[in-house]
């Protein structure tokens, strides 16, 4: 059975919060629309390579709480870990 990779999906109304809290905001897209277009291109490229890609809806405030509880920075590595954790619990 092929495993899927998860791609974080943010609500439009929380994207400014994502930027506000992220320690690596300089590496993020300035707008939700830019981020969304980039995410969709990435998904398309991965699907063309035969990779199963699943959107994982992320609540920015829940993710921020997760980072604070684990005492880790709110950055790309933490976002990836959080998405992976959501995928794991979803598969149970």
- State pLDDT tens for residues 28-58: 999 999 999 999 999 999 999 999 999 999 9
Q: Taking a C-beta distance cutoff of 8 angstroms, is the pair 7, 55 a contact?
A: yes
H or E segment at 54? strand 52-58
Alpha-carbon distance of 27 to 25, in angstroms, equals 5
Instruction: Encode 50-75 in three state secondary structure.
Output: CCEEEEEEECHHHHHHHHHHHCCCCC
pLDDT tier, 3 (very low <50, low <70, confident <90, very high otherwise):
confident
What local confidence, expressed as pLDDT, does residue 92 receive?
Answer: 53
CA dihedral 58, 60, 62, 68 (to 10 degrees): 130
Q: In this predicted structure, what is the pLDDT of residue 76?
A: 95
pLDDT of residue 85: 92
Q: What percent of the chain has pLDDT over 90?
A: 89
Tokens of 16: 């400014």
pTM above 0.85, yes or no: yes
């Amino acid at each position: 059975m092929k495993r899927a990779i998860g791609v974080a999906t943010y609500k439009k109304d929380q994207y400014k919060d994502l930027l506000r809290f992220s320690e690596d905001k300089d590496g993020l897209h300035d707008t939700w629309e830019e981020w969304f277009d980039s995410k969709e291109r990435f998904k398309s490229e991965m699907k063309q390579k035969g990779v199963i890609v699943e959107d994982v809806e992320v609540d920015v405030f829940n993710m921020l709480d997760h980072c604070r509880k684990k005492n880790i920075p709110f950055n790309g590595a933490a976002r990836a870990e959080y998405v992976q954790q959501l995928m794991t619990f979803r598969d149970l």
